[in-house]
Amino acid sequence: MRYLFFTNTPAHVHLYKYAVRELQAMGHDVLVLGRDYGCTKDLLEYYDLPHEIYGSCGTTKYSLFKSLPFHYVNIFRAVRRFKPDLIFGMGGYAAHAGAVSRTPVVLLLDSEPTSLDHVVSRPFAKAILTPHTFGKDLADNHYQFRGFKETAYLHPDVYEPSVDIRAELGLDPDEQFVVVRFNAFGSHHDVGHGGFTPERRRELIEMLGERATVFVLDESEERRDGDLDTRPFDFHPALVHDVLAEASLLVADTQTMVTEAALLGTPAIRSNSFVGDDDMGNFVELERQGLISNLKSFDDVMARAEELLADDGAKARWADKRDAFLADKVNLTDVIVQVALNYGSVETVDSLTRHTVPA
C-alpha cells in the first residue's frame, strides 16, 4: 500500500511520526508532504521521515492565503507522482488532494472552532476521526477515539525522554524553570483571536523571572524581549516535550502545547480569546480533570502562576492526575495504523474508535 500524510505544522509531524515508521517497517510506501512553517521542516529531517516540502508559510495572517495557489499546484503534482492509496491529514489540503486524485482521505480533526476547515474538507473525507471530547457531530462517517491527537506521541506506550534535558539546558538538578509560549495567531482559524499583548508579555516574564528560570518560545516573527532575563531557546525543537515534562510550569496563549504539558504531568495555564463558553472540548475536559487552568483575566494568570510556583508538591500531584487521566485513553498511533490497514472496512474503523468512548 501507498500512504500519504500531510504535516502542515510541527504538531502534525509529531502526530504522524510513529505511524509513518510503523507502516514503513511493515513494508508499505509512505510519503509525508510538509509545509515549511515554524520548525516543521526541522522535525521532518530530525526524525528522518520520507518527505517533500510543498511550500512555505510565514506567521502573519495573510501569508497562508497568498501562498495557497502555489501550495495546491505543488501538492497536486506530488500526489500525481506518488499515486497514494490513502491520504491522512487535518484539513483542506488533504481533502482536496484526495478529491483531485480520487483517493480516499482520512481526516483527523480536533478543533471545533475551525468551521471553515470542516466545510471545505468533510465532503471529501472517507472517515473523520476526532477526540471523544469533540463537541460537534460532523457527518455519518465521523468516528471518535478516547483521547486527543497528542496521545499519538505522548501516550505512555510511546513517549519516553530522549536525553537528560537538564544537562542539555545547563540547569542544576533542583533548578526550577518555567516555559512561556507565545502564539503568532497567524493561521486562518486565528483571525479575530489573540493572546497576551506585548506589555503583558513583558510583565508576565518579569514576574516569572523573579521566581524561576524562564524559557520563552515565541512563534511570532516580531519578538522583542529587550533586556528581560530569559534563557535563549537554543535546544533542538524535537526536544521540546522533554523540556515540558521537566518544567515546573507552562504559561501560554497558544493551544497544542498546553495539551502536551497536561499529558506530561506539568501544570499549565492557558490564556487567549478562545477561552470561554465555546471553548474546545479538550481544554474543557483537561481543566475539569485539574490538569490545566483556562483563564481570560491577566490578573488571574499572574496569581495562578505565582500560586503554582510556590507549591512544592504541585509536580508530584500533577503526575498522579496525569496517570489517572491517561489510564483509559488510547495510543492514537495504534488507531491510525489500524485505520490505514483496514480503511476499506467501515466496521473496523468503527470498532477502533467508538468502542473506546463510553456509551
Question: What integer is the mean pLDDT of 118-123?
Answer: 71
What was the pLDDT predicted at 225?
53
Residue 357 reports pLDDT greater than 70: no
What was the pLDDT predicted at 111?
73
What share of the chain has pLDDT > 90, as a percent?
66
2-155+329-354 against 165-327: fold identical: yes
Contact 146, 328 (CB under 8 A): yes
What was the pLDDT predicted at 123?
80
pLDDT tens string 48-79: 999 999 998 876 656 667 788 899 999 999 99
- Nearest by Cα to 72 from 45, 32, 100, 51: 100
User: With b meaning 16 or more CB within 10 Å and e meaning fewer, what string describes 166-193?
Assistant: bebbebeeeeebbbbbbbbbbbebbeee
Question: What integer is the mean pLDDT of 218-222?
Answer: 64
Distance CA 100, CA 29 (A): 20
What was the pLDDT predicted at 189?
44
Superfamily for domain range 2-155+329-354: Glycogen Phosphorylase B; (3.40.50.2000)
pLDDT tens string 146-204: 999 999 999 999 999 988 999 999 999 999 999 999 875 444 444 444 568 889 999 99
pLDDT tens string 1-34: 999 999 999 999 999 999 999 999 999 999 999 9
Sheet holding 105-108, edge to edge: 51-56, 29-36, 2-7, 86-89, 105-108, 127-131, 142-145
What was the pLDDT predicted at 113?
58
**Where exactly are the structural domains of the chain?**
2-155+329-354, 165-327
Superfamily for domain range 165-327: Glycogen Phosphorylase B; (3.40.50.2000)
Q: With bands split at pLDDT 50, 70 and 90, how would you rate the model's confidence at 351?
A: low
pLDDT tens string 276-320: 888 888 999 999 999 999 999 999 999 999 999 999 999 999 999
Contact 10, 237 (CB under 8 A): yes
